Amino acid sequence: MTGRPRTKQIHRTKQIHLAAHFPGVNNTTVWADPRSRSQVDFSSFEHLARTAERGLFDFFFLAEGLRLREHKGRIHDLDVVGRPESLTVLSALAAVTDRLGLAATVNATFNEPYELARRLASLDHLSGGRAAWNVVTSSDAFTGENFRRGGFLDRADRYTRAAEFVATARELWDSWTPDGQDGLDGAVGEPRPFAHRGQHFDIAGEFGVPRPPQGHPVVIQAGDSPEGREFAASSADVVFTRHGTLEAGRDFYADVKGRLAAYGRAPDDLKIMPGVTFVLGDTAAEAQERAIEIRRQQVSPQNAILALEQVWGVDLSAYDPDGPLPDIDPDPESTLVQGRVKVGDPFAVAEKWRALSRAKGLSIHQTVIETTSRQSFIGTPAAVADQLDEFVRTDAADGFILVPHLTPGGLDEFVERVVPLLQERGAFRTEYEGATLRSHLGLPEPVRKG
Amino acid sequence: MTPPAATGRGPLHLAAAIDQPGAYDAAPHIELARLGERGALDFVTLGDSFARQGPDALAVLARIAPATGRVGLVPTVTTTHTEPFHVQAAVATLDWVSHGRAGWAVDVSATEAEARLFGRRRAAPREALWQEAGEVADAARRLWDSWEDDAEIRDVATGRFVDRDKLHYVDFEGRTFAVKGPSIVPRPPQGNPVVVVDATGGHARDMAVRHADVALVRAASPAQAGAARAALHRRAAELGRDPGQLRVLAALVVDLGGGEQAAQPGHGGGPLPTAEGPLYRGGPVDLADLIAAWHAAGAVDGFHLIPVEPRRDLERLVNGTVALLQHRGLFRTFYPGATLREHLGLTRPANRYAALAGDPT
């Protein structure tokens, strides 16, 4: 640190919120790079979490996997696979961080409210109020084969179950009498009986854990359908979106924030944070070169064939990655790929790729690299800081969930080079002002019900 | 061939419970776990049930893992209302974050009150619950083995991150659940974390001889403990297990509130039977004598000690009883190994699926 006097930070502009997505099982994670380390060892999680905390990030984010992905009836072997269980990793990370929020993705379909509410409340107590839950739902029988009830939900029931799950968890978190009611320091209150009877859950008893330090752990939601947006507006504290452009971001932002009033909530009560990637360079040209190199690393020749098979739905292993695209049509009924989101309109995608290949004279491998989504922000640290700030100032986002491409060092450069620039312009905190994740995000205290 | 029953005595093993009523955050748990580690205990336990007031035990011990270096960490995780796939993943993850120090004390949820918290199943008889617990432990071991240790290859030439021939479906079909596999978690550092079972009840005993690495028994005398240990070893051998891979510890509630005074008159040197199990009430020195005597008689491999007043009794246990046993050369003064299996003298299990390597089926 230089000798510059630290003044109380002045919030000149709307503040940016930042989160770090651990780059594990994800096809954007580059594992063949010599700097890539284990996606399972605790040291990797510790490195990335400490980096995020050094950068004063709001929270650290873990995705979830409940079944290994399959391709052509066999386990997919070309991308990073294997990960530890999220809530347990976050409990351990609470020991090596002090302020960083700790967010786990946990499926509402393959869990029950009592147990999950208890695990989240436990993490909140063990971390001093830093727990968050990214609510996802699933209904597929493929994942269900690892669980007692199998894939038992209709698609339409997914959000009703998720909404009732969140509401039930909050009833449980609120079920203890307020702490300190008897005036004693450190008193935690007493459990009161709860009873919940709804479409999905019929449970009763006493909750085993006092009200969490945050009242309710922070709830994150990641769906983009109209039902997902409505669920976010009614129930979530943070939305994890995929809208990467300014225009799409502003539309989404206005739409979701506009839904809040109907639930008696203020626009600031819900933070919108797109998941984004970034590439830095000393010059704009260098950043672009690195971005292309990373995309090349992300798409091996084998992965190019696999990407094609995901669209076509048929075995294309006989095709040469350096040769032209197939002439045959996709099979929309294919079950070749399991455990991934299906391609929406395979005919349209196939035609688009063929057109691209013809127009530019690209091979299969080159075409897939070309169609692999561009990193969200590419440039010098100053340019990237500019773009991030613009997104937030112009209401395309409240912040970002950064997805690095390398485990565990993928965030180092961002924290060293971009965060100070955001701080200089008064757009990002220079110290943690509160202890809880809720305080970092500027979220209101949840109102206790019952 | 029936392996010979383990006789004679191996090294003494000591474990302690760190349960504290009303402790919800990390600090009081860390304090007691570190105390146990200072005494070079094999492991500490933290009990759990959905009917209990207290945080999730496995989460607490994961929180403790980076704050300790050697002591084994054994939470209770129940099998009745939980998902076997999640349970095994969480225990495997505890092993990863602790670098091979995880155990799992298996228990069931037998009450109607617990069933109502989930609203999915009615309370069931203990026999059925322990049968299911055995199946969950079996499925967990298979899932821990579903990744061979060298499955991750990162082979740039072929673009393959894993060798999928070293990932295995477990296709487990139990009476109440089925699991396809493989696990999402690569094989943990210990291969299989240490499975601990309180083998006091008959149904739990049947499960323990099949699946436990450490069985806990409640006994009021060395003769009783020795008979229980011999019976467990005999039954394990009949099932084709190596009895040398089953440690039997006597569970003993300890009340060291009496300071240096002798064991309470009427003890006859042995513990008092209580509803919570055999209770030792007296001073730390006499407790050391009791431990040494039972171990010398070959009755048990060690003790699982449950302090009545956790902070007071654990401190007296470590600074009094354990220190004395160490001084007499009866207990380790430091950890020569890194993993819980190494502390317990248990081998790292071979992978059941790797044994089939080369088998075209």
For chain B, give every domain's residue range: 27-354
Q: Check residue B358 and give its pLDDT.
A: 52
Examine the predicted complex and report whether its ipTM is higher than 0.90: yes
Query: Does residue A264 share a domain with residue A314?
Result: no
In the stretch 21-40 of chain A, residues with CB closer than 8 A to chain B read: 31-32, 40
In the stretch 49-68 of chain B, residues with CB closer than 8 A to chain A read: 50-56, 58-60, 62-67
Of A351, A371, A391, the position where a domain reaches its end is: A371
What DSSP string runs through A305-361?
Answer: HHHHHHHH-S--TTS-TTSPPP-SPP-TT---EESSPPPS-HHHHHHHHHHHHHHHT
Q: Check residue B259 and give its pLDDT.
A: 52
Q: Residue B59: its chain A contacts at CB < 8 A?
A: 87-88, 91, 119, 122-123, 126
Model pTM score? 0.94
| Contact A409/B at CB under 8 A | no
The encoded tokens of residue A441 equal: 């995000």
CA distance B11 to B333: 12
Residue in the block written with tokens 């039997």? B248
Among B19, B20, B25, B142, the strongest candidate for a mutation testing the A interface, having the largest count of A CBs within 10 A, is: B25
Picking from B56, B67, B113, the nearest residue to A205 by CB comes out as B113
CA distance B332 to B38: 11
Q: Residue B22: its chain A contacts at CB < 8 A?
A: 188
| B26:A95 CB<8 A | yes
DSSP B55: -
pLDDT band at B270 (very low <50, low <70, confident <90, very high): confident
Query: Does residue A189 share a domain with residue A59?
Result: yes
| Contact B83/A at CB under 8 A | yes
The encoded tokens of residue A22 equal: 């651990």
Asked if A119 and A87 touch (Cβ cutoff 8 Å), the reply is: yes
pLDDT band at B206 (very low <50, low <70, confident <90, very high): very high
| B184:A67 CB<8 A | yes
Picking from B164, B167, B180, the nearest residue to A146 by CB comes out as B180
| Contact B181/A at CB under 8 A | yes
Picking from B24, B85, B176, the nearest residue to A188 by CB comes out as B24
pLDDT tens digit sequence for B210-263: 999 999 999 999 999 999 999 999 999 999 999 999 999 999 999 998 655 555
CA distance A314 to A304: 14
Q: Residue A77: its chain B contacts at CB < 8 A?
A: 160-164
Q: Check residue A66 and give its pLDDT.
A: 94
Using CA coordinates, name the residue in chain B closest to A32.
B156
Query: Does residue A229 share a domain with residue A324?
Result: no
CATH of B27-354, one of 3.20.20.30, 3.40.50.300, 3.40.640.10, 1.10.3720.10: 3.20.20.30
Query: Does residue A185 share a domain with residue A92?
Result: yes
| Contact A65/B at CB under 8 A | yes
Pairing of strands A70-71, A337-338: antiparallel
| A122:B92 CB<8 A | no
Picking from B97, B160, B186, the nearest residue to A89 by CB comes out as B97
Closest approach of A134 to chain B, Cα-based (Å): 17
Of A371, A396, A419, the position where a domain reaches its end is: A371
Query: Does residue A121 share a domain with residue A210?
Result: yes
Of A317, A346, A371, the position where a domain reaches its end is: A371
CA distance A24 to A47: 13
Asked if A235 and A223 touch (Cβ cutoff 8 Å), the reply is: no
pLDDT band at B276 (very low <50, low <70, confident <90, very high): confident
pLDDT tens digit sequence for B14-56: 999 999 999 999 999 999 999 999 999 999 999 999 999 999 9
Picking from B56, B89, B160, the nearest residue to A77 by CB comes out as B160
Picking from B93, B116, B160, the nearest residue to A205 by CB comes out as B116
**Does pLDDT of B2 surpass 80?**
no
The encoded tokens of residue B190 equal: 């210990």
Q: Check residue B263 and give its pLDDT.
A: 53
| B186:A191 CB<8 A | no
| B184:A148 CB<8 A | no
Query: Does residue A382 share a domain with residue A237?
Result: yes
| β-bridge mates for residue B178, sequence order | B173
| Contact B119/A at CB under 8 A | yes
Write the CATH number for A187: 3.20.20.30
The H-assigned helical ranges of A127-175 are 141-144, 157-173
The encoded tokens of residue A408 equal: 């565990």
**What is the tally of structural domains in chain A?**
2
Torsion of CA B204, B207, B211, B214, to 10 degrees: 30
The answer as to whether A290 is a domain residue is no
| Contact A432/B at CB under 8 A | no
Which one, of A248, A276, A261, lies nearest residue A395 by Cα?
A248
Q: Check residue A155 and give its pLDDT.
A: 75
Q: Residue B167: its chain A contacts at CB < 8 A?
A: 68, 75
Query: Does residue A386 share a domain with residue A367?
Result: no
Query: Does residue A194 share a domain with residue A332?
Result: no
| B186:A88 CB<8 A | no
pLDDT tens digit sequence for B51-61: 999 999 999 99
Query: Does residue A121 share a domain with residue A101?
Result: yes
pLDDT tens digit sequence for B54-81: 999 999 999 999 999 999 999 999 999 9
Closest approach of B173 to chain A, Cα-based (Å): 11
Using CA coordinates, name the residue in chain A closest to B153.
A77
The encoded tokens of residue A144 equal: 């269900």
In the stretch 68-87 of chain A, residues with CB closer than 8 A to chain B read: 68, 74-75, 77-85, 87
| B53:A91 CB<8 A | no
Closest approach of A10 to chain B, Cα-based (Å): 34
Query: Does residue A401 share a domain with residue A349?
Result: no
A-B Cβ pairs (cutoff 8 Å, strict): 176
What DSSP string runs through B162-228?
Answer: E-GGGB----EE-SS-EE----SSPPPTTSSPEEEEE--SHHHHHHHHHH-SEEEE--SSHHHHHHH
Pairing of strands B178-179, B172-173: antiparallel
Closest approach of B48 to chain A, Cα-based (Å): 10
Q: Which of A293-302, B92-101, B109-118, B215-224 has the lowest mean pLDDT?
A: A293-302
| Contact B257/A at CB under 8 A | no
Structural domain that includes position A420: 17-281+376-441
Q: Residue B117: its chain A contacts at CB < 8 A?
A: 114, 203-205
Using CA coordinates, name the residue in chain B closest to A106.
B86
Which one, of A220, A224, A223, A254, lies nearest residue A237 by Cα?
A220
Regions of chain A short of the pLDDT cut 50: 1-9, 181-183
